[in-house]
């Protein structure tokens, strides 16, 4: 499945027309030192590509573009620079100032991070760090998790592995009390700003259905818009029926 992303192709077109970004400053790319931030600014349509080396056995890779003003998005790929049409191992393109990609069990080697100016931005700190993992709880397809409680602004993170050729990923939460919202994201931990699917109706009955999902790990975030009790979560992967043998 090809998921649309908003600025990368458009940014390249802007560069092709303008010849260069209109507000060039700060580092334009290169290697990152793990745990050390680089402060960036750039114009609308600017692209800056950085790399980070991940050793084998790493639990998780966290990439953040924090604070600042304006709107800068991030695109992350393993082994080669992100391309306009994708695919991406992770992208974060919220309308907020903070962007985040949190990837469990990243492959060892070179990871590429492209920062794109959706609008002009300044004072954005880009940092890559390693950790033990996102802490997401693994789900089994079709097996409900029941009696979940959470407070205001609470966050529960889950994950499910989607096999190749799956036809659908359906995620549902239901409960009679309070207000929980549902966020679903491929390949990297979902946040309230970065997701592929959001269901945020009033109450605690929410659903995300994704047709032809990409194979790999998908993340599910339950956010406490208000306190809630007695919630049930179910994630179901639909795969093609096995070929019949005569």
Whole-number average pLDDT of the chain = 88
Residue 4: per-residue pLDDT? 44
- Does position 245 have pLDDT exceeding 50, yes or no? no
Query: Are the beta carbons of 198 and 182 closer than 8 angstroms?
Result: yes
89 closest CA partner among 67, 64, 66, 61? 61
pLDDT reported for residue 16:
38
Cα gap 78→105, rounded to integer Å: 12
Distance CA 150, CA 160 (A): 21
From the CB of residue 205, how many other CB atoms can be counted at a distance below 10 Å?
15
Q: How confident is the model at residue 209 (pLDDT cuts 50, 70, 90)?
A: very high
pTM: 0.80
User: What pLDDT, on a 0 to 100 scale, did the predictor assign at position 244?
Assistant: 40
- Region 88-108: mean pLDDT is 89
The CA–CA distances, whole Å, from 200 to 93, 173, 204 equal 19, 11, 8
* Dihedral-angle region of residue 216 (phi above 0 means left; psi in -120 to 50 means alpha; beta otherwise): left
- In the chain the domains, ranked by start, together with CATH numbers, are 8-131 (2.60.120.380), 137-238 (2.60.120.380)
> What confidence score (pLDDT) does residue 58 get?
95
Region 208-224 average pLDDT: 96
**192 pLDDT above the threshold of 50:** yes
Could you tell me what percent of the chain has a pLDDT over 90? 76
What percent of the chain lies above the pLDDT cut of 70? 87
Lowest mean pLDDT among 23-27, 47-51, 119-123, 232-236: 23-27
Looking at residue 106, its pLDDT comes to 94
Which has more confidence, 96 or 62? 62
Q: Are 111 and 52 in contact (CB under 8 A)?
A: yes
- When mean pLDDT is compared across 8-17, 167-176, 232-241, the lowest value belongs to 8-17
**How does residue 3 score in pLDDT terms, banded at 50, 70 and 90?**
very low
């Amino acid at each position: 499945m090809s998921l649309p992303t908003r600025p990368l192709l458009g940014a390249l077109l802007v560069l092709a027309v303008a010849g260069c970004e209109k507000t060039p400053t700060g580092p334009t790319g290169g290697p990152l030192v793990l745990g050390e931030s680089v402060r960036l600014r750039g114009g609308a349509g600017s692209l800056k590509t950085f790399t980070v080396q991940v050793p084998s056995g790493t639990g998780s890779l966290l990439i953040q573009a924090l604070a600042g003003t304006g709107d800068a998005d991030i695109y992350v790929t393993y082994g080669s620079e992100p391309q306009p049409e994708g695919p991406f191992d992770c992208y974060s393109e919220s309308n907020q100032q903070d962007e985040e990609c949190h990837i469990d069990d990243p492959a060892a080697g070179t990871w590429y991070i492209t920062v794109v100016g959706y609008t002009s931005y300044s004072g954005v700190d880009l940092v890559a760090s390693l950790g033990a993992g996102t802490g997401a709880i693994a789900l089994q397809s079709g097996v409900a998790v029941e009696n979940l409680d959470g407070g205001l602004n609470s966050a529960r993170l889950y994950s499910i592995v989607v096999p190749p050729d799956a036809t659908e990923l359906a995620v549902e939460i239901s409960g009679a009390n309070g207000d929980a919202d549902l966020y679903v994201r491929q390949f990297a931990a979902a946040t309230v700003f970065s997701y592929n699917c959001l269901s945020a109706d009033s109450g605690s009955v929410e659903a995300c259905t994704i047709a032809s999902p990409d194979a790999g790990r998908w993340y599910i975030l339950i956010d406490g818009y208000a306190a809630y009790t007695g919630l049930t979560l179910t994630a179901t992967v639909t795969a093609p029926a096995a070929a019949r043998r005569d």
